[in-house]
């Protein structure tokens, strides 16, 4: 157990590699209750759009949208999920910055109900749908980035088909009174094992998903982070979000640096903070890195100068005075296995 965002969190149960591979093959249960669950009442879509670059007014019921809270320079204050529900907009934000997010939203004139009486579980992996639909019939009909209201054992559930592993799976919001019993029932399924923070990190890294506070922070903007997809079409035309001038300028003209994936030669992992070189010239820094269990080799995310960001570019990473050969590769490092709606690009 380690302290994280004010919570005692398990790094691992039986071992990070075993838990990682189990999630890719079966189903892993993650307690992600440290994440902030917020409700914004109906009628505040426009106020929210003033703080992030997503199309919120056009967000359909039961649809999730990945978005970014931005500062006036276009720097990323947090990344989050926004879903339209009957009772308003449901936001899931990162645990480490949730208090700051709530204050930021409120200072933008938004009424935020911080629901710390709700727990959040993630059930991820190819067998997650079998397990969850057995307990909560109907969830199998949800497609990727869709959500709905369900019930189990007298407890209300808000179930989203989404996650942070690159696998099919669900995120389940449930009141704290019911979460322990629900988690026990999930863990009793032969397909399910509990998964710690360690494998959560290695799974998301392989999936090419950035981690706030490491790959994203106020010093990075959506374009250099490779998150231009989070800027909805209408907002690209209309602007009106913090840092729009800078962001839309870089959207057209390109960012001076980019978040890229690196395949690292050999077995020595390159970790956060390691410098990236093109010959003798430092061109960037690793923001996440480690051994990738499903790839069987070390991988990394880094920000590098745009000139060095093309797939196939040979670079070097400095680790303890030695240079590791690395190659820029497309992300995800491991293909995603989402169950998408036909014709959907959500």
Partner 1 sequence: MTLYFTQEHEWLDVTGDTATVGITDYAQGQLGDVVFVEVPEAGRVVAKGKEAAVVESVKAASDVYSPASGTVTEANAALAEDPALVNTAPQGDGWFFKMTLSDASELDGMMDEAAYKAWVATL
Residues within the interface to partner 1 (CB under 8 A): 11-12, 15-18, 198, 202, 267-269, 271, 290-291, 293, 298, 320
Please choose, from the candidates 287, 285, 270, 281, the residue with its C-alpha nearest in 3D space to the C-alpha of residue 322: 270
Helical ranges in 189-337 per DSSP H: 197-206, 233-238, 244-253
- The residue (of 154 and 321) whose beta carbon lies closer to partner 1 is 321
Report the C-alpha gap between 49 and 232 in whole angstroms. 11
- Least Cβ distance, residue 326 to partner 1 (angstroms): 15
DSSP labels for 228-246? GGGS-HHHHHH--STTHHH
- Least Cβ distance, residue 320 to partner 1 (angstroms): 7
Report the C-alpha gap between 162 and 146 in whole angstroms. 8
Ramachandran sector of residue 57 (left: φ over 0; alpha: ψ -120 to 50; beta: rest):
alpha
- Least Cβ distance, residue 291 to partner 1 (angstroms): 4
- Residue 254 contacts residue 107 (beta carbons within 8 Å): no
- The residue (of 15 and 249) whose beta carbon lies closer to partner 1 is 15
C-alpha dist (Å) from residue 26 to 48, 126, 193, 260: 38, 6, 9, 29
- Residue 120 contacts residue 92 (beta carbons within 8 Å): yes
- Least Cβ distance, residue 269 to partner 1 (angstroms): 5
- The residue (of 51 and 319) whose beta carbon lies closer to partner 1 is 319
- Least Cβ distance, residue 18 to partner 1 (angstroms): 8
- Least Cβ distance, residue 199 to partner 1 (angstroms): 8
Strands 27-31 and 192-194: parallel
Q: Which two tokens stand for residue 273?
A: 């903070």
- Residue 101 contacts residue 55 (beta carbons within 8 Å): no
- The residue (of 39 and 297) whose beta carbon lies closer to partner 1 is 297
- Least Cβ distance, residue 206 to partner 1 (angstroms): 12
C-alpha dist (Å) from residue 2 to 10, 273, 288: 6, 21, 19
Q: Which two tokens stand for residue 23?
A: 């999630």
Strands 76-85 and 64-70: antiparallel
- Least Cβ distance, residue 273 to partner 1 (angstroms): 11
- The residue (of 144 and 291) whose beta carbon lies closer to partner 1 is 291
Q: How far is CA 317 from the centre of its chain?
A: 25
């Amino acid at each position: 157990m380690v302290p994280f965002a004010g919570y005692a969190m398990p790094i691992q149960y039986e071992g990070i590699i075993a838990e990682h591979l189990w999630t890719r093959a079966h189903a892993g249960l993650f307690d992600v209750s440290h994440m902030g669950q917020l409700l914004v009442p109906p009628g505040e879509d426009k106020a929210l759009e003033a703080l992030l670059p997503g199309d919120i007014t056009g967000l359909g019921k039961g649809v999730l949208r990945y978005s970014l809270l931005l500062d006036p320079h276009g720097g990323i204050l947090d990344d989050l999920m926004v879903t339209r529900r009957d009772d308003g907009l449901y936001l899931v934000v990162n645990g480490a910055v949730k208090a700051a997010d709530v204050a930021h939203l409120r200072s933008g004139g938004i009424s935020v109900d911080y629901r710390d009486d709700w727990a959040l579980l993630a059930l991820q992996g190819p067998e997650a749908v079998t397990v969850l639909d057995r307990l909560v019939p109907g969830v199998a009909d949800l497609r990727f980035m869709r959500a709905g209201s369900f019930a189990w054992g007298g407890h209300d559930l808000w179930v989203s088909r989404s996650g942070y592993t690159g696998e099919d799976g669900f995120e389940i919001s449930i009141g704290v009174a019911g979460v322990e019993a629900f988690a026990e029932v999930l863990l009793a399924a032969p397909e399910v094992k509990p998964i710690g923070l360690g494998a959560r990190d290695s799974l998301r890294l392989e999936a090419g998903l950035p981690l706030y506070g490491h790959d994203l922070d106020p010093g990075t903007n959506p374009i250099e982070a490779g998150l231009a997809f989070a800027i909805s079409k209408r907002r690209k035309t209309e602007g009106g979000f913090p840092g729009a001038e800078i962001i839309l300028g870089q959207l057209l003209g390109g960012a001076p640096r980019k978040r890229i994936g690196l395949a690292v030669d050999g077995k020595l992992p390159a970790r956060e903070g390691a410098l990236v070189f093109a010959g003798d010239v430092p061109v960037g820094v690793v923001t996440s890195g480690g051994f990738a269990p499903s790839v069987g080799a070390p991988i990394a995310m880094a920000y590098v100068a745009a000139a060095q960001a093309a797939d196939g570019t040979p670079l070097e990473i400095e680790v303890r005075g030695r240079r590791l050969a690395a190659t820029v590769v497309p992300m995800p490092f491991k293909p995603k296995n989402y169950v998408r709606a036909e014709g959907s690009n959500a």
